[in-house]
Structure 1
């Protein structure tokens, strides 16, 4: 098994369709052009730098048996890594109704209590503008509510020109379980859902390594990957996330920004110039033929390997 640091960059679909040199050159250019993280993201960046990914030993293949048919080798299980992802709730608008399923508090960046209320009561946004540059909504209940939609974790409230930017700080695996349900029907085969979970986690981690904004890693729309909070999470999507916890796609020592689309035609039209991309309907078709999730991933991301996140040296 090999151990590689995961925060050095990501492979933007630099798989079989493009020469390695070209992909690596673009990766280096992207890293050079990326500014250092803002002060308030330094802790999260350091947390990523301390992660490692343990890759499984590749399986031996014969001339008559493809890597995809065998499936990507699965890395050994290990203790989970507790990561928090920051998702901008762009679909919520700039003047959302904010509440919680239980008692809630709005606190300042320094921890000073600004507002509090009970389950279902709304945050007073007009007062919030006068109380500091940003605030946090947290609850003792099971979820915070944005326009009546439940989300896990807590909300960071950042005033911006024209309104409020709401950022959901939530555990990575909770996020993945919700993305799987937003991107695929939860009634589909569990193996297809597991393949989706690994692809979604790789995509998320690539954006955690290179965030879209100083305050958030990625958005909640299909410009990134669909995220609807706890409303799209259920037992099957959470099982898909939990059974692949910490598992990502790796290529040439970097994270694969694992693109995917509903079907092969859309995948080719949207991502064909970038390289490998998974067809979600194709993943379901393969699962119905008896393919396991690692075989599905091997079919679409040829040349990649599976790796599992683990805590690295301090």
Structure 2
């Protein structure tokens, strides 16, 4: 089974020295190493790469195998050759065989091709009733090699990359336990966490994952939902001020993201451009926030134009205009609409630019995580 145990660092004879090395600078939360049991956790992730497509192109880097849902050998996949799996009614067709699903597995030390990218592991192609879905089955740690590089520049300080690795591992396992789909755990886009396959792996992302292997963040004995974002614009948010229920480990804290390229930003729209983006409103007359968070993020905004007035959620307004965050002010002058804002993303949990700056200042990944996930504990998960 899988369980959490204390890190070896916490039980060495010089435990006090090790503890003191983790003491935070400037009042950061001190991490404790947790000793407790959790339900068994599979260490293989299921990631939906494509969903509901009319067809999916797959292949293998060496001689691979196609198996049906019963595991029976159907055909070989020649090295470097692609195979198109197409929807056929409520089933899929691969290599002249029709069924509800097929496995495509590379040979030893090989990789699998899905769509336009290479991935570790194997792929299950299946019908979802309306098209073809391709699901990458891959070892959790190998999955993270790519996620860390997809979510954070590989050139960033190693301690920041390590913080990203632990957050991403925790997020993945939390989502796996909460998945609403019986077929996959997470997707590969920003709706979950970005997973770009082999192209986003580097030696530094692999080092960050291996340097934190099996480490997760927990609260109350459970792996936490370790959400993260690019930059908060100065201060992160309490989760309930943005989404729904409060969580004790997702509290607003001072960010370290000053100086980030997305810390402050300006977007300017012509009246015609704004009207095209918001056709129900037309040319903007005024935009007045109706509700904001304690940090100033727009929860609800009343927008009045020459075609009428509408109330939008902050997120809907942000998405309509393609803004970086909901932390903004808006003005109209000289036939132009100017939006001034700060930060990039939802502003909850770890700020990636904050992690970058903290690492540059000498903070460890434990201290970075302790700052952004208040009261969480770092634990080691092992499979037996």
The TM-score with structure 1 as length reference comes to: 0.74
Are 1:142 and 2:102 an aligned pair? no
Counterpart Cα distance in 2 of 1:160 and 1:92:
6
Q: Could you list the runs of 5+ residues in structure 1 that have no partner in the other structure?
A: 1-49
Counterpart Cα distance in 2 of 1:93 and 1:184:
29
Are 1:97 and 2:57 an aligned pair? yes
Q: CA deviation at 1:75?
A: 7.1
User: 2:355: which partner in 1?
Assistant: 283
Residues 56, 84 of structure 2: 8 Å contact kept: no
Q: By percentage of residues, which structure has more strand?
A: 2
SS of match in other structure, 2:368: helix
| Larger Rg belongs to | 2
- Cα 1:216–1:192 change in 2 (3 A) is same
Counterpart Cα distance in 1 of 2:137 and 2:113:
13
SS of match in other structure, 1:68: coil
Counterpart Cα distance in 1 of 2:223 and 2:235:
20
Equivalent position to 1:248, from 213, 216, 219: 216
Are 1:113 and 2:73 an aligned pair? yes
Equivalent position to 2:154, from 186, 192, 202: 186
- Cα 1:198–1:94 change in 2 (3 A) is farther
Deviations 1:126-182 (A, max 9, x none): 442852211100011521011231100000111123321000000000011110000
Q: By percentage of residues, which structure has more helix?
A: 1
Equivalent position to 1:219, from 183, 187, 201: 187
User: 1:72: which partner in 2?
Assistant: 31
Residues 267, 278 of structure 1: 8 Å contact kept: no
User: 1:52: which partner in 2?
Assistant: 3
More divergent stretch after superposition (220-229 vs 134-143): 134-143
The TM-score with structure 2 as length reference comes to: 0.61
Q: CA deviation at 1:265?
A: 3.6
Are 1:132 and 2:107 an aligned pair? no
- Cα 1:284–1:307 change in 2 (3 A) is same
Q: CA deviation at 1:195?
A: 0.2
Are 1:158 and 2:117 an aligned pair? no
Question: Which protein has greater RCO, CA pairs closer than 8 Å, 6+ apart?
Answer: 1
Q: CA deviation at 1:64?
A: 10
SS of match in other structure, 2:166: helix
Q: Could you list the runs of 5+ residues in structure 2 that have no partner in the other structure?
A: 11-15, 36-40, 87-92, 252-348
Residues 217, 379 of structure 2: 8 Å contact kept: yes
User: 1:202: which partner in 2?
Assistant: 170
Equivalent position to 2:369, from 284, 292, 297: 297
| C-alpha RMSD of matched pairs (Å) | 3.0
